Structure 1
């Protein structure tokens, strides 16, 4: 008889093999795998007591915590669906997502409760609101007191099928409302098996949760680190100082994060030089980092840099950029350039680059096509949005909207989002390529390049830049720098200096907000240079 690929098996395995091992450190609390399982059973009993049934939706507005981690397994035992919420949204955004998802229970951290308080009366389906870390002034049900009412004995699980939806993740809507991505137990289970292999996850790992668990389930980290009996280090808020402190105190061996977060760690390291002895793997996804950035991580921090690629709709990871054993004869510089690419397909993924006619592009590192994914991770679809589902998945392939090239070694390089490609005088310009050059300037901390109108060329690259602390640079200086490093038509033609760039909760730069800022400032700031 076949064993269904369902996620509660991962915690079952950890309890069977690592029951007395520390599963979670969370802000002073230490929980073994047996104790984690006991709490999960209590949570499942509590949800059943609230009337939650198979297929119901349970939402979480929480930071990286023990409560968030146990929520996945506690919800899954009922055959219910977890709806993790981005903690950086506005109250009206939560109204849409909670009503659209038809969530019946909402768990929320006390320090995030003020995001829900003003819109409580607008929530149409939420019948129960339970607060983690509740203070005495909040007139809601407190999580700890509520949980204590229920048994930790083995829970009588609902019958689960691997094709059941287990999580509903809302993507950031650049236009219109966000879409709910339906991922199944099978999606997450097979993604975990593939990812744990490529990231070399083992029971000796200590994983620090920096990437938010609400962000496509923290790239699946609650699943494959648990399955392997690794130790989770959780903190609801992370700063560069607290991250380095956790690395030192808990002997952390692996972290996931966006490039902007890693950049902040590099800045902190430059100023404070924290001492770290153990080997560390840092997994990065998001905007492509320049090779110089990777070199700093590996030479200054001494960490192994691993670039991955994916999106929520593919569970998410599809590509990895480690150097394969059959790719030989490369200089150190060439190896770094390969590591900066999105990479080659992970096991279980068929990733191709297709031109506008649906044909695969040449493996020459030059011809550009759209990244299209067929894999075990491709979503079941968008919740209550068949039209968007049909638009995203065609002929069995997920169309990512990312444009890239593929070289003769099979390494894919993302040149831009389809909507972010700049067309100047009929030439396509990758904003990512231009940003990579700007990062080489010693005064540039962060850079984002967008297309702006130009009378002669139609469009031209324009940069928003954050300077490093205690460093200065002029617009003309950086424009000249970009012209030295790039073909003239690719160089930036104007710059706006800002104190910070807008980012998602996972640290990814939000270019849609930067474009909005440009148009709001048009005629007032950001002079164009001919």
Structure 2
């Protein structure tokens, strides 16, 4: 057997770009993208992507150069996930809710050569470029006009998006990767910390995660997928490419609104959607909302979902799957694989089990929870905390221009260290307890802010909750809860009531000693609560006193 080696026939480079040709062959006359009154077929989408790739190449973009996109979930955004890499370039989709300074840093750090700008983000991008240093090269700009008003001036722009599509060659010979390890995407971490990093992924990794995500969620052929998850968030958890693999219909929404989502579900017969737990909370918190006419499958991730929120959403007819991943994995690599016997359990117990992140996906290699110092696996008792470590084919290539950050997270022992704190249950299921920076140490005891938040979410008046550490003269740190209330309960619930509610469900040291009511909690556009901002608010508070339990 030693004589067998890889040969050209079995060594074709893996890339998700090949999904597009196959999809056009099999599902060519079926709907690919639906947006308002616009509907494209897969034949049309393939042609538009090739024409756009041709134009990108013709204006001088070279292999491996970065092309950025600042746009919401509109058809152009979806097409660019194919068109940019079809031209040999690397797609860098940027969060539309970032400020100009951060966008400026990203464009500079990535050395972006071309930026596709949605009409609503023009001032953001122009302000970002105005912050460049005098010697920094400015990227070319292309305007995505969409359904917006015509621009007063095109002075800053090389072209419009539709002009590039119209003028491109539909027979363009796309730029195939030299190696499947060639970069395909550059994603900057989502903004729950104040210093995002540039995560580079390769063609091979994105092929692996796209196929794996479809299998793990049991996505059938020709689903109707509603884009409630921003595509710029970890490439839409790989479903940007994955929908082409199964001939799905992409229902695009410019912005998330719970009422609009319910209307889209009814109008288009939506079968699948993704979103952070805040999406579940918003969908299940509308007053007098009626159950769905037919079930809709939701994959949720991004933060541990409170069991109470899961239960409310499922009571409306949403079938929820829960997973875990990072920008560095390009999608979800741990999912709460469901066991039939759990269906016989009471609803509260089912929700508790589903709130766990679960086990590695089929296409991933390994997951563990270890002591961060020794690297030894923690006891599988559901209570011993450790750091989540991962390894598999979709782990990033590394952080752009950050060899030290890459080295610290991708260790020589073969593991990627996530910085997430978790426990491993006796049945082998993982449960995230916190980011390492969010663990609160009170009187020498490590406590999980996520666990406290889960209890707060069970209170009928609470809409959102986040818990961070506040300095304490006696205990060192104590839990500080930031809470927003449901509209009808504002002013009717006091700090003492929430404290007593938690005291009946938690050990004394885990009960929030401070409760701060806010109209809304600060969030990223993907629904993650920005705890670094809340930690800063808590830091500015005077240390709490006389808080002995």
Once the 2 structures are TM-superposed, how far is the Cα of residue 145 of structure 1 from its aligned partner? 2.5
Question: Is 1:511 matched up with 2:531?
Answer: yes
Select which of 127, 134, 139 maps to 1:127. 139
Change (3 A) 1:187 1:490: same
Within-5 A mapping of 1:74-473: 74-123=83-132, 124-133=136-145, 135-139=150-154, 140=157, 141-172=159-190, 177-268=195-286, 270-273=287-290, 276-299=292-315, 301-325=316-340, 330-349=345-364, 350-355=366-371, 356-394=373-411, 395-471=413-489, 472-473=492-493
Question: Is 1:487 matched up with 2:507?
Answer: yes
Question: Is 1:477 matched up with 2:494?
Answer: no
d(CA) in 2 for partners of 1:146, 1:80:
16
CA deviation string 1:429-471 (max 9, x = no partner):
1100000111111111100001111122111111000011111
Moved more, 286-295 or 345-354: 286-295
**Retained in 1: the 8 A contact 2:470–2:539?**
no
Change (3 A) 1:58 1:302: same
Once the 2 structures are TM-superposed, how far is the Cα of residue 276 of structure 1 from its aligned partner? 3.0
Once the 2 structures are TM-superposed, how far is the Cα of residue 130 of structure 1 from its aligned partner? 0.4
Once the 2 structures are TM-superposed, how far is the Cα of residue 156 of structure 1 from its aligned partner? 4.0
Instruction: State the TM-score, normalized to the length of structure 2.
Output: 0.92
Change (3 A) 1:378 1:203: same
**Retained in 1: the 8 A contact 2:472–2:545?**
no
**Retained in 2: the 8 A contact 1:201–1:225?**
no
Cross-structure match for 1:502: 522
Question: Is 1:63 matched up with 2:72?
Answer: yes
Name stretches of at least 5 consecutive residues in structure 2 with no aligned partner: 1-8
> How many residues matched?
525
**Retained in 2: the 8 A contact 1:449–1:464?**
yes
Name stretches of at least 5 consecutive residues in structure 1 with no aligned partner: none
Question: Is 1:38 matched up with 2:47?
Answer: yes
Change (3 A) 1:160 1:445: same
CA deviation string 1:134-175 (max 9, x = no partner):
623142332212321222224343444211110000114666
* 1:148 match: secondary structure: helix
d(CA) in 2 for partners of 1:336, 1:156:
47
d(CA) in 1 for partners of 2:347, 2:504:
24
* 2:459 match: secondary structure: coil
Change (3 A) 1:267 1:20: same
CA deviation string 1:174-227 (max 9, x = no partner):
666421000111111101111101111122310000110000001011111111
* 1:116 match: secondary structure: helix
* 1:188 match: secondary structure: helix
CA deviation string 1:307-355 (max 9, x = no partner):
1001111113111113135779755443322111011111132000101
**Retained in 2: the 8 A contact 1:106–1:126?**
no
CA deviation string 1:241-283 (max 9, x = no partner):
1111111111001110011122111122x3343x632221111
**Retained in 1: the 8 A contact 2:457–2:465?**
yes
Change (3 A) 1:434 1:248: same
CA deviation string 1:65-85 (max 9, x = no partner):
110111011111122100010
d(CA) in 2 for partners of 1:174, 1:507:
10
d(CA) in 1 for partners of 2:349, 2:30:
42
**Retained in 1: the 8 A contact 2:81–2:241?**
no
RMSD value, Cα: 1.9
Within-5 A mapping of 1:16-27: 16-27=25-36
Moved more, 129-138 or 53-62: 129-138
Change (3 A) 1:468 1:529: farther
* 2:288 match: secondary structure: helix
Cross-structure match for 2:5: none
d(CA) in 2 for partners of 1:35, 1:528:
68
d(CA) in 2 for partners of 1:224, 1:107:
23
Once the 2 structures are TM-superposed, how far is the Cα of residue 528 of structure 1 from its aligned partner? 8.3
d(CA) in 2 for partners of 1:380, 1:480:
48
Change (3 A) 1:159 1:432: closer
Change (3 A) 1:219 1:359: same
Change (3 A) 1:245 1:175: closer
